[in-house]
Amino acid sequence: MVKEVNGTNVVSVTATDLFSTDYQVYEVYLDMFYNAASYLDIQLLDSSGNVLTGSNYDVAVLEQKVYATFGEFRFQNQNIWRDLGGYMTNTVGGNIARLTIYNPTSTSSHTSATTQGASFMSSGLFGVKGMATYKANDGVYGLKIFASGGGSTTFDYLNVKSYGIKAE
């Protein structure tokens, strides 16, 4: 494990130094409980911990709902990754996600991610499977994780664990 960041009663978590040049591929595990209805949003951080705000974020996510038709969520040229952790409501189940991050610190190729996640809505299970790209070669060293609703609504907890893919 490279780093663990835990937030309690926070509106966001800024997790720096999740990635380094030691590995090319990382697994990031998220475990959270949010107190309102919102998408999980993610922005990338540079080596100084600054948010990369350019319109370089693309996503494509299949939303797998037990209570409705599966949905497609996609966009291009935005300034966030949205829905990689699915949709959150303040129901007991909370939500979780696993991201595989490729080439985060590279300055010669884009940063990409695949995701699987699940939350438990009042209507039932909401799963996601998808991917995302960041179309710039800035070098990514961390994640800012927050909710699309913004404001002062908090996560009861938001835990982040980053693992480098290391061979023994």
Partner 1 sequence: MAGSLILVDQFTVSSPASSFIIGGGSAGSSTLNYSMDSTHNVYMLNYQNVFMSSDGAKARMRFTKTSDNSADTSSNYDRASKQMYTNQGFFNSSGTNQTFIETLSLGTTNPESSLGTVYCFNFPNASEYSFITRELIQTTQTPETAGVMGGAVLTVAQATNGIQFFADTGNIASGSFSLYGLAK
Those residues with Cβ within 8 angstroms of residue 48's Cβ, 6 or more apart along the chain or in another chain: none
Per CB under 8 A, 102 contacts partner 1: yes
Q: Are 26 and 101 in contact (CB under 8 A)?
A: yes
From candidates 31, 50, 51, 110, binder to partner 1 by CB under 8 A: 110
Per CB under 8 A, 2 contacts partner 1: no
Q: Would you tell me how many other CB atoms lie within 10 Å of the CB of residue 108?
A: 7
Give the amino acid at 16: T
Q: In 3D, which of 130, 135, 120, 123 has the Cα closest to residue 58?
A: 135
Per CB under 8 A, 29 contacts partner 1: no
Per CB under 8 A, 79 contacts partner 1: no
From candidates 58, 101, 105, 118, binder to partner 1 by CB under 8 A: 58
What one-character-per-residue DSSP string does 112-131 give? Answer: EEEEEEEEEETTEEEEEEEE
Shortest CB 142 distance to partner 1, Å: 21
Positions touching partner 1 (CB under 8 A) are: 24-25, 58-62, 72, 74-76, 100, 102-103, 108-110, 112, 114, 129-131, 133, 135, 165-168
